[in-house]
Homo-oligomer: A and B are copies of this chain.
Amino acid sequence: MGKTFNFGAGPAKIPEAVMEKAQKEFLNYNGTTGISVLEMSHRSSDFGNIVSSTKKLLRDEMQIPGNYEILLLHGGGTGQFAGIPLNLRAFSKNSESPTADYAVTGSWSNGAAKEAEKYLTVKKVFDAKAPFLGAPIGNTWKRDPDAAYLYYCSNETIHGVEFPHAPETLPDIPLVADVSSNVLSRNFDFTNHGVVFCGTQKNLGAAGLTIAIVREDLIGKHHPFTPAILSYDEMHKNNSLFNTPSTYSIYLTHLVLEWIRDIGGVKKLEELNAQKSQLLYETIDNSGNFFVNNVQKDFRSRMNIPFHVGSVEGKPELEAEFLKKATAAGMIGLKGHRSVGGIRASIYNSVTMEETQKLVDFMKFFQSSHSD
């Protein structure tokens, strides 16, 4: 069997070096403990070191300012869809009927807005209906001065829509960013942000861990109905060990962060991701509409690149053949999300230039074999 090329959207490819190290010490962490990380008490000194080192590496690599706390949580990004309004609703200037602003640029921000409606009045400053072709950056948005926060998803995994920089917000209204699918793939500016969160299963390791980076002054005013596992205050007071966390996912994120540091950090990754995505978009744009990506160029994702084959809406039989032949060539995870169809190539930090080139070569060969 040849090598498998994983272009899945998440859980996704983990860097080879990380997987090899994890396998090597799978039964005996660090070669000295005699047990696996999986079997280790979350209150042991070995695991305590993993937690503190993970937080330090994340702070260093992401350049997180000192007035932000790093919380290691349960529940995935979807847990935060509830956690955000539960923790922040008290910051709305409308105490009778708290509100928050949401920029809906795709499925994930849409899902976040829907969940938030359980807890406050959601106002959509932007609502990109399908096919979610992009987002203006905020200077035309009608923002609510009473909003507890302005929410956005920095990269929409399904629609391939990425903010090139954070949207503008009103003074004193913090931004909340879901960075699940582009964390540490490019420089991130924390200015104006209140909460920055992500699941780790795309760019930072495995499923099961959620990281919330929360500005200190926003901790402690959660709604009384906030479950402890979603309460920034309760988790912070207990150094994210209020209860047993997803220990192995934390360990894998630690290894991924070491890998990021060792290959040259986010600066290096940003360069690589620009090159990889440029190669793919050029292949698409130079195909004479054989491959089509409709996203506004300024908002095209460098992580998730959806496209259709054969026409703007895609020809289903051609796309099915594309997927079948790609799978036969060892390239998996290329099927577009069921809500939008087509093809999607996810090229997270772990996907190399060589792997991207392999996909591009296949695309060109596929096109040439259908151009007679």
Q: For residue A231, give the distance in angstroms from its CB to the closest CB of chain B.
A: 10
Residues of chain B lying within 8 A (CB to CB) of residue A223: 225
- Is A118's CB under 8 angstroms from B225's CB? yes
Q: Give the copy number.
A: 2
Instruction: Give complex CA distance A305, B82 in Å.
Output: 39
Q: Could you tell me if A41 and B11 are in contact, using CB atoms closer than 8 angstroms?
A: yes
Which residues on the B side are within 8 Å of A42 (C-beta)?
11, 207
Give chain A's interface secondary structure class. loop
Q: Hey, which chain B residues are within 8 Å of A330, CB to CB?
A: 34
A76 adjacent to B206 (CB under 8 Å):
no
Set of chain B residues within 8 Å of A20, measured between Cβ atoms = 27
Q: Is the CB of B76 within 8 A of A201?
A: no
Bound CA–CA A199/B34 (angstroms) = 24
Question: Counting CB contacts under 8 A, is A156 at the interface?
Answer: no
Given A74-B74, A75-B229, A248-B207, A6–B35 Cβ distance below 8 Å?
Answer: yes
- If A9-B41, A14-B38 touch, whether A246 touches B249 (CB-CB below 8 Å) is yes
Contact present for A4 and B19 (CB under 8 Å): no
Asked whether A49 is an interface residue with its Cβ less than 8 Å from the other chain, the reply is: no
Q: A12 an interface residue at 8 Å Cβ cutoff? A: yes
Q: Write out the residue numbers on chain B whose beta carbons fall within 8 Å of the beta carbon of A226.
A: 118
A79 CB-CB contact with B under 8 Å: yes
Q: Which of B11, B26, B36 contacts A40 (CB 8 A)?
A: B11
Complexed CA–CA distance, A12 and B47 (Å): 13
The contact of A228 among B81, B247, B248, by CB within 8 Å, is B81
Interchain residue pairs with CB less than 8 A apart (16): A8-B41, A13-B35, A14-B39, A26-B26, A74-B74, A75-B79, A75-B227, A76-B229, A78-B228, A86-B227, A118-B226, A118-B227, A119-B225, A206-B248, A207-B244, A208-B246
